[in-house]
């Protein structure tokens, strides 16, 4: 069930595509191969597109359509849309906190409807002291739904015992990263655990109210000389409320950027409100551009905190917008 490594997939896709484009140019309508529904289907990798290569591909599309007027089906267009050049777009996920008011089954159903398949597991869906048996049952449920739990958190760690518990939990869940908030005086101990377990720690910033880590810099400055597996989960909403542009932060701390919590807020102000992605004040085109520039290879997890009792509509708009910006 492990997904193939993205670069491997890109390579495969590029090779398949080249073959396919060649076949298009020599075949007529009747002999054109039809896309199949297989796992490595080069026709079904729409999340591999980015806005820049998409526009390049558009020109190719015109040329191909002109050259093959009789083709009359989706193949040219599809090949066109799925051409992968030098860059890939970003894996979408959800920060589990988005589903605060929903049990795991409902959360899974929502994720499936939204076609998002990466989840940061939050402890209200799987308590930190769960037995391996309970954990395995939850993992099976996720796996059956095609959802990959790629990390756990946000986990607060205010004691050594809490750090121990978090790492033991991550090991049992089988993830290689924790999104966490260890107390500042526990960072040394956390680093030891990172070294002992090879599980990365992505420390999460919480905005102006957060005495410990209001903005990414407050994390970075404390960990920059530590083990390189000590890093950041940048919450772009809290970052923006703390007066920092997310597009600047991801560039500045790229060497330690492990995860992202993506949301929009109404203003660059402490008391700004969360809002559907695209309706707020964050400059998403600049943010996506920055992620492309640093070749961000982690997950883009939406953390949706508006209308938490009825979030599906706003989540859908947010995901649509974030995808659209990448494509546009």
Residue 248 binds a copy of itself, judged by CB under 8 A: yes
Task: Name the one range near a copy of itself by CB under 8 A: 17-25, 170-178, 209-217, 265-273.
Answer: 265-273
The binder of a copy of itself chosen from 100, 141, 279, 294 (CB under 8 A): 279
The candidate with the shortest Cα–Cα distance to 170, out of 215, 200, 213, is 200
For the CB of residue 273, give the shortest distance to a copy of itself in the complex, in Å: 11
Number of residues in contact with a copy of itself, rule: CB under 8 A?
A: 57
Q: What is the DSSP letter of 270?
A: T
- Stretch 92-121 residues interacting with a copy of itself (CB under 8 A): 113-115
The binder of a copy of itself chosen from 159, 285, 293, 295 (CB under 8 A): 285
For the CB of residue 151, give the shortest distance to a copy of itself in the complex, in Å: 25
The candidate with the shortest Cα–Cα distance to 318, out of 116, 50, 89, 76, is 116
For the CB of residue 207, give the shortest distance to a copy of itself in the complex, in Å: 13
Measured CA angle at 91 (ends 313, 126), to 5 deg: 70
Specify whether the CB–CB gap between 182 and 201 falls below 8 A.
yes
The binder of a copy of itself chosen from 77, 165, 171, 176 (CB under 8 A): 77
Closer residue to a copy of itself (CB): 162 or 294:
294
Residue 262 binds a copy of itself, judged by CB under 8 A: no
The full DSSP string for 30-54 is TTPPPP---TT-TTS-GGG--HHHH
Specify whether the CB–CB gap between 96 and 121 falls below 8 A.
yes
For the CB of residue 321, give the shortest distance to a copy of itself in the complex, in Å: 4
Three-state secondary structure call for residue 93? strand
Using CA atoms, how far apart are residues 73 and 29, in angstroms rounded to an integer? 9
Q: C-alpha distances in angstroms, 116 versus 43, 218, 316?
A: 19, 31, 10
Alpha carbon 57 to chain centroid distance? 24
Tokens found for residue 202: 């992505």
The candidate with the shortest Cα–Cα distance to 97, out of 321, 315, 319, is 315
Task: Name the one range near a copy of itself by CB under 8 A: 23-31, 60-68, 195-203, 221-229.
Answer: 60-68
The binder of a copy of itself chosen from 245, 249, 260, 291 (CB under 8 A): 245
The candidate with the shortest Cα–Cα distance to 91, out of 282, 263, 315, 301, is 301
Task: Name the one range near a copy of itself by CB under 8 A: 12-20, 221-229, 231-239, 272-280.
Answer: 272-280
Residue 319 binds a copy of itself, judged by CB under 8 A: yes
Closer residue to a copy of itself (CB): 100 or 320:
320
The binder of a copy of itself chosen from 145, 165, 197, 328 (CB under 8 A): 328
- Stretch 31-50 residues interacting with a copy of itself (CB under 8 A): 46
For the CB of residue 90, give the shortest distance to a copy of itself in the complex, in Å: 13
- Stretch 114-173 residues interacting with a copy of itself (CB under 8 A): 114-115
Specify whether the CB–CB gap between 243 and 284 falls below 8 A.
no
For the CB of residue 63, give the shortest distance to a copy of itself in the complex, in Å: 12
The binder of a copy of itself chosen from 145, 192, 289, 294 (CB under 8 A): 289
Measured CA angle at 48 (ends 43, 50), to 5 deg: 125
Specify whether the CB–CB gap between 239 and 216 falls below 8 A.
yes
Tokens found for residue 229: 């597996």
Residue 294 binds a copy of itself, judged by CB under 8 A: no
User: Which residues here bind a copy of itself, judged by CB under 8 A?
Assistant: 46, 51, 54-55, 57-58, 61-62, 65, 72-74, 76-78, 80-81, 113-115, 243, 245, 247-248, 266-269, 272, 276-279, 281-286, 288-289, 312-314, 316-328
């Amino acid at each position: 069930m492990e997904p193939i490594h993205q670069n491997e997939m890109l390579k495969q896709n590029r090779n398949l595509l080249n073959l396919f484009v060649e076949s298009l140019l020599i075949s007529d309508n009747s002999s054109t191969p039809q896309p199949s529904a297989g796992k490595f289907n080069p026709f079904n990798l729409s999340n591999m597109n980015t806005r820049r290569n998409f526009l390049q591909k558009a020109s190719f599309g015109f040329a191909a359509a002109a050259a093959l007027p009789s083709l009359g089906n989706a193949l040219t267009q599809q090949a066109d849309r799925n051409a992968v050049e030098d860059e890939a777009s970003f894996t979408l996920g959800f920060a589990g906190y988005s589903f605060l008011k929903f049990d795991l089954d409902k959360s899974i159903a929502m994720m499936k409807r939204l076609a998002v398949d990466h989840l940061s597991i939050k402890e209200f869906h799987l308590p930190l002291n769960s037995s391996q048996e309970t954990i395995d049952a939850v993992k099976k449920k996720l796996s059956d739904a095609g959802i990959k739990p790629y990390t756990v958190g946000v986990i607060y760690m205010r004691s050594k015992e809490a750090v121990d518990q978090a790492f033991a939990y991550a090991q049992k869940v089988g993830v290689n990263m924790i999104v966490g908030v260890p107390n500042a005086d526990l960072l040394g101990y956390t680093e030891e655990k990172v070294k002992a377990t090879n599980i990365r720690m992505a420390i999460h910033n919480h905005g102006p109210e957060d005495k410990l880590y209001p903005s990414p810099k407050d994390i970075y400055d404390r960990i920059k000389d530590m083990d390189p597996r000590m890093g950041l989960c940048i919450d772009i909403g809290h970052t923006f409320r703390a007066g920092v542009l997310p597009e600047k932060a991801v560039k500045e701390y790229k060497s330690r950027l492990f995860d992202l919590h993506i949301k929009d807020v109404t203003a660059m102000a402490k008391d700004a409100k969360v809002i559907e992605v695209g309706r707020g004040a964050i400059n998403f085109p600049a943010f996506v551009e920055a992620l492309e520039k640093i070749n961000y290879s982690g997950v883009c997890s939406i953390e949706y905190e508006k209308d938490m009792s009825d979030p599906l509509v706003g989540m859908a708009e947010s995901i649509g917008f974030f995808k659209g910006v990448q494509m546009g």
